[in-house]
Amino acid sequence: MLDDLDDIHPLFHGAPSTTEFKKLRKRIIRNVREAIEQYGMVERGAKWLVCLSGGKDSYTMLAALYELKWRGMLPVEIVACNLDQGQPGFPATVLPEFLEKMQVPHRIEYQDTYSIVMDKVPAGRTFCALCSRLRRGNLYRIAREEGCTAVVLGHHRDDILETFFMNLFHGGRLATMPPKLVNEEGDLFVYRPLAHVAEEDCEKFSRAMNYPIIPCDLCGSQDGLQRQQVKHILDGWEKNSPGRRQVMFKALTNIRPSHMLDPKLFDFLGLSLTDGEKIGTNPENSMEIPKLR
């Protein structure tokens, strides 16, 4: 089925032979491998439910995971999954046909969450929060039914940065999508192996491979979304200072609790001098710090 020896899996059938593409592919694989190793995503006897939306990111993730698996660097069992949420006009045959052709074990699940979202969300409000909760709940159920130990999502570096700034600007907290977490029930891991991969690289890769991209018309049709606003800001910063996104992402991996303001992360009250004469060491001068009223 494969045209030449450089193709290691049907997912890479027809891959461009240009030096530029080979560098891109190598960079993506390296970034995915780094994230998997750095955040300890592989456990003994692992079986992953790899979630596919049909977008550029999930296609890139699937291809990268299969290359690592082929190279013996990812000893896990993979089951691809697409959740058809009943969106009008959704091309329901695209992903099943693609996965069959690519010889990827998969499960296609139909759940009409679209009608629920349209019914519950007031006019003018964004669909993302409710849609995401319903989708996540179904994916957890499917993972349990398939005997999987982890749900694997295609969020990339830029998604993580955008979520950080959305929480900063609108949520009043410093938080983002972690590369690895345990669900609330405590029975499934959630992994994001594209955590170190730039969105631009996902787009270039999936376009070069000519994967059948399915746009998300449910949320993408809404104007003025907070995420789009943040993306526009980040695009401006990146244009004025190329490489700014990567610097900001690196900052998320280099946090100093003692230089922030959260007393739950750092014991400011217990902070004391380590040399010289300490306040309160002389019983005659000892005074309790008065409580503020």
Question: Would the annotation count 219 as a binding residue?
Answer: yes
Q: Is 148 annotated as a binding residue?
A: no
Check whether 202 is labelled as a binding-site residue: no
Q: How far apart are CA 88 and CA 231, in angstroms?
A: 27
162, with CB counted inside 10 A (0-12, 13-18, 19+), is buried
> What is the 3-class SS of the chain, one letter each residue?
CCCCCCCCCHHHCCCCCCHHHHHHHHHHHHHHHHHHHHCCCCCCCCEEEEECCCCHHHHHHHHHHHHHHHCCCCCCEEEEEEEECCCCCCCCCHHHHHHHHCCCCEEEEECCHHHHHHHHCCCCCCCHHHHHHHHHHHHHHHHHHCCCCEEECCCCHHHHHHHHHHHHHHHCCCCCCCCEEECCCCCCEEECCCCCCCHHHHHHHHHHHCCCCCCCHHHHCCCCCHHHHHHHHHHHHHHHCCCHHHHHHHHHCCCCHHHCCCCCCCCCCCCCCCCCCCCCCCCCCCCCCCCCC
- Binding residues for [4Fe-4S] cluster, as ranges, are 128, 131, 219
- Binding residues, as ranges, are 128, 131, 219
